[in-house]
Amino acid sequence: MRLPSFGPLDPFAGRGRPTSLTGSLVVATPRLADPNFARRVVLVLDHGNEGALGVVLDRPGGVDVAEVLPRWASVVTPPRQFFAGGPVAPNAVIGLLRFRPSSRPSGEEHPDGWRQVVPGAQPVGTVDLDGNPAAYADQVVGARLFVGYTGWAAGQLEDEIDEGSWFVLPALERDPISADPEGLWRRVLRREGGSFAVAAAFPEDPNRN
């Protein structure tokens, strides 16, 4: 079986190219063969003229958070492991928090060191891991820690999208800290429907189908 051509499929799903990809999901198309990113979903944390930075959301790393950052162990969402965020800076750790709606009464701000990435009733953002999670644990509905990240130089991500390596789809609040991270790729494509749902059903090894 030949790989399908996704050239005619609008990578932005008809929404138009956004000015900034921050807060978007870049979802590997079936033609992307790079083992770091094949069938992976990346949340873009920052995107601008100098490039882009994100974390792979669906690759548990196998190392328990309790072994390295025990104060975060009770806050992170199962599986309570560090996730492999990408091949860049493998010793760096990035944290994401999702807050409960009730944690934002009028006039109250989120903890210092938290920066919103995905807006909504339960917003998701990066957090300073030097802080004390116990101070706001009752406000948190989910947390995840990533080692390493994914980086693109200026214009590189845009070129990869135009070449057909990535779809760019909206992030829902539950996506970055999913209870079923390893099923995220198919789930994101299926909910988009149409040709994207067809892409989700494409076999990992078309020669064995």
Q: What are the residue ranges spanned by the domains of the chain?
A: 24-208
CA dist., res. 27 & res. 40, Å (int): 6
Rounded to 5 degrees, what angle do the CA atoms 72, 76, 81 make? Answer: 95
pLDDT digit string (tens) for 163-196? 999 999 999 999 999 989 999 999 999 999 999 9
| pTM given for the model | 0.91
Q: 24-208: what fold?
A: VC0467-like (3.40.1740)
Q: What is the DSSP letter of 5?
A: P
Predicted confidence at residue 4, as pLDDT, reads: 46
Residue 205 confidence (pLDDT) above 80: no
Residue 11 confidence (pLDDT) above 80: yes
